[in-house]
């Protein structure tokens, strides 16, 4: 995003980046307000894809919230109480893997209930609730007795510069 601003003077570059960040954060705040699901939209899309991939798996109950999941080629153990699978994808990502989803569906529960709280809409709203404070223009900045900052001396190399 900042490639467009890298040739500008330092203050102009920082101002350009600040405005882009304010705009991006505002769009995210307004976008998530319209969304009605429990988990973030991109996470919901991943869950829908995983639900489709979990169709060939069959889950066999082995005990309280323990399942053996098999698709004819591979076998995994899923523990719904610990929200863990032997493939370890659920442990690493916080999202149920396709094996876990097949057990959740077999248990007649909602997949969204087993997603890590970092993927919930409420967490997203909490992250983006703070705003980047607007600033006064440079003409209205308070004068200080500090010396003006000076750009460092740039040494030219003997070869042709890249840009």
* Gap between the terminal Cα atoms of the chain: 19
Chain segment 59-111, per-residue pLDDT in tens: 999 988 899 999 888 899 999 999 999 999 999 999 999 999 999 999 899 99
Chain segment 2-49, per-residue pLDDT in tens: 888 888 888 889 899 999 999 999 999 998 988 898 999 999 999 999
Question: Per-residue pLDDT for 160 more than 80?
Answer: no
pLDDT at 5: 87
pLDDT at 16: 93
pLDDT at 63: 86
pLDDT at 138: 79
């Amino acid at each position: 995003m900042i490639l467009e601003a890298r040739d500008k003077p330092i203050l102009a570059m920082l101002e350009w980046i600040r405005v882009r960040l304010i705009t991006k954060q505002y769009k995210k705040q307004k976008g998530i307000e319209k969304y009605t699901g429990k988990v973030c939209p991109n996470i919901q899309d991943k869950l829908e894809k995983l639900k489709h991939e979990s169709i060939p798996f069959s889950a066999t109950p082995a005990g309280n919230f323990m399942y053996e999941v098999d698709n004819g080629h591979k076998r995994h153990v899923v523990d719904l109480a610990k929200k863990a699978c032997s493939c370890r994808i659920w442990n690493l990502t916080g999202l149920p893997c396709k094996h876990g989803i097949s057990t959740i569906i077999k248990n007649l529960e909602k997949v969204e209930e087993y997603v890590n709280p970092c993927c919930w809409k409420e967490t997203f709203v909490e992250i983006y609730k703070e705003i980047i404070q607007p600033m006064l223009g440079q003409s209205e900045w308070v004068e200080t007795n500090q010396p003006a900052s000076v750009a460092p001396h740039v040494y030219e190399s003997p070869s042709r510069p890249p840009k």
